Chain A
Amino acid sequence: MEKPVVYDNGLNLEATELRLGLPGTNEPEKQSSTSVRSKKRASPEMAEETRSKSSSCISDADDDAPPPKAQVVGWPPVRSYRKNSFQQRKGEAEGAGMYVKVSMDGAPYLRKIDLKVYKSYPELLNALENMFKFRIGEYSEREGYNGSDYTPAYEDKDGDWMLVGDVPWEMFISSCKRLRIMKGSE
């Protein structure tokens, strides 16, 4: 059994974290995919300033993909204007952990939240509860949310509506496009 990840402040939040997975699920796999993603979110200014032509690279935990190369100036030949159009707004558009719309059944106005601000499901659900003034029930793998009329759902990249909490947090924030607090049981 893997040693649980211990956070700096000594609290073991993993015990209360909502996620799907058998006990002893491989942590390092998640880590490497996280690190690749965080490279993708590296600021374009930093990338473009790297004037080194040698492709010195940091080898990745993932052996299959070729190691990421240091970014070369002016390559690929896309004008900065175009590159920057997407670096700024890609997060919003794809819902890759930035602002997503939140609707609640019965409420007249939508809200927007920044998913990047939250580190886990409990934090996110807490924030939603405060924003819309309601209470979510207990999550369980088998039964979803029990003990309340409200169920949090999200629309993923494929356009399907999914129950919040089923997939690991990192996967959730990279695929979540919008949120909806549904009222009444399914």
Chain B
Amino acid sequence: MPEPEVDTRRREIAGVLTGEFQSPSPDQVLENVLENVLLFLTSRRDRNAVSLVCKSWYRAEALTRSDLFIGNCYAVSPRRAIERFRRVRSVVLKGKPRFADFNLMPPNWGAYFTPWVTAMATSYPWLEKVYLKRMFVTDRDLELLAQSFPAFKELVLVCCDGFGTSGLAGIASKCRQLRVLDLIEDEVTDDEVDWISCFPESGTCLESLIFDCIECPINFEALERLVARSPSLRKLRLNRYVSIGQLYRLMIRAPQLTHLGSGSFSSSDIVAQGDQEPDYISAFAACKSLVCLSGFREIIPDYLPAIYPVCANLTSLNFSYANINTEQLKSVICHCHKLQIFWVLDSVCDEGLQAVAATCKELRELRVFPIDAREDSEGPVSEVGLQAISEGCRKLQSILYFCQRMTNAAVIAMSKNCPDLVVFRLCIMGRHRPDHITGEPMDEGFGAIVMNCKKLTRLAISGLLTDKAFSYIGKYGKLVRTLSVAFAGDSDMGLKYVLEGCPKLQKLEIRDSPFGDAALRSGLHHYYNMRFLWMSSCRLSRQGCEEIARAMPGLVVEVIRNENEEDKDGFEILYMYRSLERPRIDAPEFVTIL
């Protein structure tokens, strides 16, 4: 299928031959020059700015944009996007709001990929990359994708659901140019299809194959052969059905790997004592380019020493599925001087985090997940671990920390020791829990974070919090774009402070906090600048939401009921977002669009 520009050229040449050719106007020349320059402009924010200069620049920019980013799939329709941007090679689409991950959104809410893939199939024949987050993707969608785009190279699905192994089989067999197939935290149904065997029998161009979220066995022999015929493979993340013995067999075939997800990292039940186990240590030692290690889904800690040879080179280590204790962590972390990204379970305790602080001076991102994710669980990490990290890891930019006990002092210390913080997410798992030493609310701690961390763009707060905390956020959080609030605040003032004080606020998600209609009204001046607002189990009334919908026609205001809710006027969730379109028609029965 010829590209549009080929037709234009043909016409120009025809014009020259018949003597009808006229020299292009200065405007046309300028536009041609601009197009060529804009090819180099990749940042979408810069491009958005360019498109606002004048109509000519708008057109040039639209013709040269190859990467389409749509942060909310309902903000714009496929047709409108395709009409404006005609030469797209890569599409990013995001669907459900983040709180849907925690079962707060009833299923079948929406975010269907189908209308998008259907429209793109005919309009973007040269499409190479699709990245979807929190979208509902069916096997038929994947089939259509595989059939429609001969140059297709990269498919990345994050937190998606609706498809199964039969959809993957279609991708594997039909996308002959496939370089990247990354399935990250998706829910993939087991259709009992051997999708691994569906990749082309001759060599593949695979560079990245990530399937650690797939909860069903795969054909290991087929995988082994696939790895053997994929010389460009650099990233491989296995699921928990791959044993350590099988991992060994793959590693010796692919020593060029840079990213490895190690699967279960355990052996099958019957292990003969005295039997020769493979030399795991030399398999790891042979992977001289390995910089990112994850997996360990069912780890037998006895095997941990196998990874010692690669620790010194690791920049990213994900132990967040590895149930290991302090000593076991220490034995590994002491080698990891270059580590920048570290995910771990709180089973390593404060002492484990102290060891991290002592060694990982280059740490940029830390995530500490709870092994027992309930409000009243033991909580092996506390302010002690947080304090240690703040003192040892001065370059920290991003932290996610689950705990049961915290103090303002430790949070304040982090705000001072880690000035580069961009993301600060603290989850004190017990609701309304104060500083466990002083008994005070956690206001001062979070206040210090917004005050001292001048680059902060993302914040998640927890613990006992009064309106004061929100006043700090409104006063100092001038760069905050994403804010997550749960079980916090005293009155409408809390939400008002934030809506009036944070000019950069894009994504606001609030649950179980005492904010009502008056607070909602205070954001009218800002809602068109935001991607979305989520409020669930707050003090909103239907009339309050209707008022907003009337005042702001460019907003889609959804009120979402519990499926079991008898009262047709009652609702659990307010989800509202700006949109260029009329309200969607694919909403289920329990969603009312005002």
Contacts and interface: CB of A to CB of B under 8 A. Distances in A.
Interface of A: 40, 47-48, 51, 53, 55, 65-66, 68-69, 71-83, 85-86, 89-90, 93-94, 103, 107-110, 112, 159
A82 B487 CA distance: 22
A62 to B, nearest CB: 12
Interface in B298-328: 298-299, 320-321, 323, 327
Given A53-B537, A112-B269, A93 B323 contact: yes
A89 B371 CA distance: 11
A46 to B, nearest CB: 12
16 contacts: A40-B377, A47-B374, A69-B375, A71-B374, A75-B102, A76-B427, A77-B484, A78-B370, A80-B102, A81-B213, A82-B369, A86-B373, A107-B273, A108-B273, A109-B270, A159-B327
Given A89-B298, A93-B323, A74 B104 contact: yes
Contacts of A107: 273
A78 B274 CA distance: 41
B273 A103 contact: yes
Nearest to B270: A109
A181 B193 CA distance: 44
Given A40-B377, A82-B373, A76 B429 contact: yes
A83 B373 contact: yes
Contact of B370 (A72, A76, A89): A76
A81 B512 CA distance: 23
B18 interface: no
A78 B373 contact: yes
Q: Which of A71, A76, A103, A107 has the most CB of B within 10 A?
A: A76
Contact of B369 (A53, A55, A75, A78): A78
A72 B432 CA distance: 13
A43 B73 CA distance: 36
Contacts of A68: 375-376
Contacts of A83: 373
A86 B371 contact: yes
A167 B289 CA distance: 49
A64 B374 CA distance: 19
Nearest to A47: B374
A11 B103 CA distance: 48
A74 B103 contact: yes
Given A74-B102, A81-B213, A94-B323, A110 B273 contact: yes
Given A74-B102, A109-B273, 18 more contacts: A48-B103, A69-B376, A72-B375, A72-B431, A74-B99, A74-B103, A74-B511, A75-B429, A76-B370, A76-B402, A77-B102, A79-B102, A80-B102, A80-B103, A82-B320, A82-B369, A90-B323, A93-B299
B271 interface: yes
A66 to B, nearest CB: 7
A79 B101 contact: yes
Contacts of B429: 75-76
Contacts of B372: 40, 86, 90
A73 to B, nearest CB: 6
Nearest 9 A/B pairs, CB to CB: A74-B102, A78-B373, A76-B429, A68-B376, A93-B323, A74-B104, A83-B373, A77-B102, A79-B101
B185 interface: yes
Contacts of A65: 376
B561 interface: no
Contacts of A85: 297, 321
A76 B323 contact: no
Given A108-B274, A110-B271, A76 B375 contact: yes
B321 A78 contact: no
Nearest to B98: A77
A178 to B, nearest CB: 11
Contact of A73 (B104, B323, B430): B104
Nearest to B433: A66
Nearest to A82: B369
Contacts of A81: 185, 187, 213
B318 to A, nearest CB: 12
B486 interface: yes
Interface in B327-342: 327
Contacts of B187: 81
B272 interface: yes
Nearest to B512: A53
Contacts of A80: 102-103
Nearest to B274: A108
